[in-house]
């Protein structure tokens, strides 16, 4: 590569789905030794551009250059072999294999008989995770670990490929702050070694902390590219949205409901929830029109609590009552029948069905309601689907478009539409704004407010303390599967919540699996 050749470049890329352009003659240049961010609203084309650069999609026109040489990738493996390593937002590894196997998947050291040399494999993997500050046994099955730790293992895999280009697509969405610091350290080290880094994040503050250059996409086209330092927050968001805005923070919830919401009807009451190694006598009460926040660090039991309420976690004890009626048998069908809906934090494995259309994904939970004599009524389906597409502002070419072709934010809206279609009394929201841009985040936050105003009982989990404080009437803080504190009234403010999270829950400086060899912490994170 010559001194002036880009590490990676796209020239005039054009890509469409079902005749709708999603990339419009995009030019993108990643210089070696820089960290370059791609930003834009959900649906702006960020993920499509990354997939076009890495062989997941093939552009209809335009060219791609790697180290000054024109290339064409028909499959992601070709891009990886050429020196492009990608860390995806949704971990794309093999959960049933060990940490070590995943780090060196397809590149395992072999014995002279052609068998995998497990001793050497585990030794090399242990060196890699130790260098990254990840406290985990490399012989542990990956699927037994929390999402945040899995994301760090995906980063470890990328580092070991010695790539000249590393693409990080929302790598921090599942990480604690201490893990983010480790990731940023790795990114800076790779940059200083001459690699080109593409970094995508919806956490805008991270962009100024880490990135050197920025490319802004809107409606599939580049609207600005240049030095990150030349933009302030307002200018960046205005360019993303295509309109001038007032300076605003990370959240846009209306003011939290006043304390009198706790005098309203009790819609959800869960008491004495126990799950071996996960929950210990957890109880929550949510009133009509109330947003109850659940907060906690890695392994605290936030996700396990809502899964227990939803019947998706085996419990050894506990009682759940919805609008005064006890759910006799804790199961997902029973919870749905009682009016409980859960938006899972992991939309890839526990949410969308990628092989189905947007239309089919929305109606999955209400098939009986849109059927006659066991046969789907097209009229009822179309009416329901059109109503929620319009209400949530889902951007798509048509309801028959594959949901996997939508942006992350629009996929999230499809899932919200699915559960709203069940007309729930209780809506459990686990990281509803994870991995979506500032515009879509505001829309989702406003929708949550609207649901509460209409009388729904809402339970909100978020890794962003500001989001919990802005949106919640009360906040229950969990630690090690137990409720450690409940914040109400004037206590619901950011510094008080941070103190509640940290006090007594000593965090080490290095990322930790917090008991990673067991599955107890899976599905929970900071």
Pairing of strands 291-296, 340-343: unpaired
Whether residue 428 contacts residue 343, with contact meaning beta carbons closer than 8 Å, is answered with yes
DSSP run (H or E) holding 73: none
| 408 and 501 within one domain | no
What local confidence, expressed as pLDDT, does residue 49 receive?
Answer: 94
SS (H, E, C) 74-92: CCHHHHHHHCEEEECCCCC
> Who contacts 413 (Cβ-Cβ below 8 Å, separation ≥6)?
392, 393, 394, 440, 443, 444
In a domain, 3, yes or no: no
Are 66 and 163 within one domain? yes
108 in the same domain as 25 = yes
**How is residue 49 written in tokens?**
């551009």
435: left (phi over 0), alpha (psi -120 to 50) or beta: left
**Alpha-carbon torsion 303, 414, 21, 74, what sign?**
positive
Q: Does any domain span residue 344?
A: no
- Domain span at residue 474? 253-339+424-526
CB 497 within 8 A of CB 477: yes
**Given this model, what pLDDT does residue 512 score?**
37
CA neighbours closer than 13 Å in the CB half-sphere of residue 222: 18
Instruction: Say whether both 194 and 69 belong to one domain.
Output: yes
- Round to whole Å and give the CA distance between 89 and 261: 37
3-class SS letters over 219-254: CCEEEEEEEHHHCCHHHHHHHHHCCCCCCCCCCCCC
Tell whether 1 is covered by a domain: no
Measured CA to CA, the distance from residue 455 to residue 94 in angstroms comes to: 42
| Separation between Cα atoms, residue 282 and residue 301, nearest integer Å | 9
pTM of the model: 0.57
pLDDT by residue, tens only, the chain of 526 residues: 445 789 999 999 999 887 778 899 999 999 999 999 999 876 788 889 999 999 999 999 999 999 999 999 999 889 988 999 888 766 678 889 999 999 998 888 999 888 999 999 999 999 988 887 788 899 999 988 877 788 788 888 887 877 899 999 888 876 777 778 888 888 898 899 899 999 998 778 889 999 999 999 988 999 999 999 999 888 887 888 776 654 434 444 444 444 445 567 999 999 999 988 789 999 999 999 999 999 987 568 899 999 999 999 989 899 999 999 999 888 999 999 999 999 988 776 678 898 899 999 998 888 888 888 778 888 889 999 999 898 888 888 889 999 988 887 888 889 999 999 999 999 999 988 876 777 777 788 888 898 899 899 999 998 788 889 988 999 999 988 999 999 999 999 988 888 887 664 333 333 333 333 333 333 333 3
> The CATH number of the domain where 445 resides is what?
3.40.50.300
The answer to whether the CB of 327 falls within 8 A of the CB of 335 is: yes
Same domain, 201 and 334: no
**What pLDDT does residue 3 have?**
53
Please state the domain count of the chain: 3
Please, which contacts does 495-500 make with residues 24 or more away whose CB atoms are closer than 8 Å?
497/295, 497/465, 497/468, 497/469, 498/465, 500/295
Cβ atoms of residues 239 and 224 within 8 Å:
yes
């Amino acid at each position: 590569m010559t001194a002036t050749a880009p590490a990676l470049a796209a020239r005039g890329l054009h890509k469409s789905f079902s005749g709708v352009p999603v990339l419009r003659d995009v030019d993108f240049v990643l210089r070696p030794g820089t960290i370059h961010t791609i930003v834009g609203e959900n649906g702006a084309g960020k993920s499509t551009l990354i997939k076009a650069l890495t062989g997941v999609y093939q552009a209809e026109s335009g060219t791609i250059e790697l180290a000054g040489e024109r290339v064409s990738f028909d499959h992601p493996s070709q891009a990886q072999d050429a020196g492009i390593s990608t860390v995806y937002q949704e971990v794309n590894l093999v959960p049933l294999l060990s940490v070590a196997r995943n780090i060196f998947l397809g590149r395992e050291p072999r014995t002279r008989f052609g068998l995998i040399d497990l001793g050497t494999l585990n030794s090399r993997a242990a060196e890699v995770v130790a260098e990254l500050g990840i406290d985990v046994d490399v012989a542990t099955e990956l699927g037994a670990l929390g999402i945040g730790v899995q994301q760090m293992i995906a980063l470890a895999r990328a580092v070991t490929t010695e790539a000249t280009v590393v693409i990080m697509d929302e790598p921090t969405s599942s990480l604690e702050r201490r893990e983010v610091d480790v990731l940023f350290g790795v990114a800076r080290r790779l940059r200083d070694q001459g690699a080109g880094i593409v970094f995508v994040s919806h956490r805008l503050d991270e962009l100024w902390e880490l990135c050197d250059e920025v490319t802004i996409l809107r409606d599939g086209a580049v609207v600005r590219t240049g030095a990150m330092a030349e933009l302030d927050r307002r200018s960046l968001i205005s360019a993303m949205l295509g309109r001038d805005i007032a300076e605003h923070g990370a959240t846009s919830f209306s003011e939290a409901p006043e304390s009198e919401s706790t005098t309203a009807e009790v819609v959800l009451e869960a008491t004495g929830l126990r799950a071996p190694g996960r929950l210990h006598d957890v109880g929550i009460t949510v009133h009509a029109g109330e947003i109850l926040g659940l907060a906690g660090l890695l392994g605290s039991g936030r996700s396990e609590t809502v899964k227990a309420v939803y019947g998706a976690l085996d419990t050894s004890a506990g009682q759940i009552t919805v609008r005064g009626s006890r759910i006799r048998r804790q199961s997902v069908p029973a919870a749905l029948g009682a009016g409980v809906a859960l938006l899972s934090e992991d939309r890839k494995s526990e949410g969308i069905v990628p092989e189905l259309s947007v239309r089919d994904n929305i109606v999955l939970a209400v098939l009986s309601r849109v059927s006659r004599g066991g046969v789907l009524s097209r009229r009822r389906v179309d009416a329901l689907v059109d109503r929620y597409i319009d209400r949530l502002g889902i951007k798509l070419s048509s309801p028959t478009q594959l949901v996997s072709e939508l942006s992350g934010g629009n996929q999230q809206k499809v899932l919200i539409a699915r559960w709203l279609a069940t007309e729930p009394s209780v809506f459990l929201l686990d990281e509803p704004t994870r991995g979506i841009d500032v515009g879509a985040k505001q829309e989702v936050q406003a929708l949550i407010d609207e649901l509460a105003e209409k009388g729904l009982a809402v339970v909100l989990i978020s890794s962003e303390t500001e989001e919990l404080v802005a949106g919640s009437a009360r906040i229950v803080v969990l630690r090690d599967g137990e409720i450690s504190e409940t914040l109400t009234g004037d206590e619901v403010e950011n510094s008080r919540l941070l103190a509640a999270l940290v006090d007594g829950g000593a965090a080490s400086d290095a990322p930790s699996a917090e008991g990673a060899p067991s599955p107890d912490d899976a599905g929970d994170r900071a």
